[in-house]
Amino acid sequence: APRVLSGIQPTADSFHLGNYLGALRQWVSLQDTHETFYCVVDLHAITVEHDPELLRRRTRVSAAQLIAMGVDPGRATLFVQSHVPEHAELAWVLGCLTGFGEASRMTQFKDKSSKQGTSATSVGLFTYPVLQAADILLYTPEPGTAVLRVPVGEDQRQHLELTRTLAQRFNHRFGETFVAPEAHIPEGAAKITDLQEPDAKMSKSASSPQGIIDVLEEPGPMRKKIMRAVTDTGSEVVYDEEKKAGVTNLLRIYSALDGTPVPDLEAKYAGSGYGQFKKDLAEVVLGTFTPIRERTAALLDDPAELDRILEKGAERAGAVAARTMETVRERVGFVGRG
Ligand code: ATP
Ligand code: MG
C-alpha cells in the first residue's frame, strides 16, 4: 500500500473542529487504504517559546485525542517525533543542502517571525521546514516502488515543495535515495472558519476562545458558543459564501458532520430561522465530539498504557527511520560505526 506521513503540533490543550474536518478525520480513513505514519511533532513545538510541563501534557493529550478519534495504533504507526532521533539527524544533513536564501523565502517563517521580532525568533523556527522535510523523507519508500503521500493544507504547500526539492537535490548529489513526496488533498476536507470572524480560518493560535470549537469542550460551553456564533443579517438558513459567511460556515460544519447535503439542510430549515438550526447543529457537534472527549479522558486515565502505545509506535517508526539513515550516512560519506 502507498505510504502516508502526517504530523500535528501539540501546541494547544485540544484540537479544534477545523483540525478535525480539515485533516484528522482523513487520517482515520486513510488507514484503510494506506500504510500510515502519524506523528505528534514535539520538536516543532519548541521552535517558539514553550512551557516544558505544558508540552509534556499536550503531547499526551494530542496522542490520546488521535486514538480517541479513530487512529488505530494496531494499523497506523502513531508516535512522538522526539522518540525517533533520526528526525533531528536527517534534518541536519538536509539543512546542509538548503540554501540560506531558499529558507528565507518560506512565508510561514516570515509571518511568524514578523509577529515575534528578530531577537525572539529562534534559528529553529527558521529551519522548521527543513525538519519537516526530514519528517517526511525518513519514511520514503524504496525508490521506484511506490509513492509517499502527504496530506497538507494550503498553508503547508510551500514546505512540501521544499521537501521535493531537497529530495531531488540529495538524489542528484549522492545517488537515488528519496522518492519525492506528493501532496494529498483529502477528499471532503473542509476549510472551517472562526465562529466570531467568519472570514478568518479557525486557528489554535489566532482565534479567540469564542471563535473556536474545541474537540474536548464540555457540552454546556459548547452549546453556548454555537448559539452565539456570528450569523448574518436576515434570518434565512441559506448557503452564500459572500453574503452569508457565518451561516455558510455553520452549514458546512453541519453537513460535513452529519452527512446531510447542504440543499437538504436549507430545505429543512426554510422559514424556521437561525435559532432552531443552531440548536440542532450543537447536538450534531456534540454527537461527534462527546464520545471522542470521553475516550480521550479514559486514555489519559492510564498514562502508562498510553506511553506503551507510543513506545510501540516509536519502535516501528524507528525501524524504518534507522534503515533510511543508514543509507543516508553511507551516501553522504560518513564512516560506518562497524
Ligand atoms: P496554528 O494556529 O498553531 O497554526 P492550526 O489551528 O492552524 O494551528 P495546525 O496544527 O497548524 O492547526 O494544523 C493541523 C492540521 O489542521 C493541518 O493539516 C491544517 O491544514 C488543518 N487545519 C488547521 N486549521 C484548519 C481549518 N480552520 N479548517 C480546515 N483545516 C484546518
Ligand atoms: Mg497552522
What is the 108 CA–ligand 2 centroid distance (Å)?
9
Does residue 204 have its Cβ closer than 6 Å to ligand 1? yes
Is 191 a catalytic site residue?
A: no
* pLDDT at residue number 143: 67
In the prediction, which pLDDT does 190 show? 77
Mean pLDDT of 78-84: 98
Give residue 275 CA to ligand 1 midpoint distance, Å. Answer: 29
List pLDDT tens digits, range 147-183: 888 987 777 889 999 999 999 999 999 999 999 999 8
Indicate the pTM of the whole model: 0.94
Percentage, residues of the chain above pLDDT 90: 81
What pLDDT score does 307 carry? Answer: 98
123 pLDDT more than 80: yes
5, 8, 15, 106, 130 from 155: Cα distances, Å: 17, 13, 17, 11, 16
CB 177 near ligand 1, within 6 Å: no
Mean pLDDT (the chain, rounded)? 94
Better-predicted residue by pLDDT, 110 or 145: 110
* Residue 116's pLDDT band (cuts 50, 70, 90): confident
List Cα–Cα distances, 62 to 47, 88, 212, in angstroms.
18, 21, 17
Q: Is 143 annotated as a binding residue?
A: no
Q: What is the pLDDT of residue 36?
A: 96
User: What pLDDT score was predicted for residue 144?
Assistant: 65
Mean pLDDT of 37-48: 97
- Identify the residue whose C-alpha is closest to ligand 1 atom 7: 203
Terminus-to-terminus CA distance in the chain, angstroms?
34
DSSP secondary structure letters along 45-62: HTTS---HHHHHHHHHHH
pLDDT value for 151 = 85
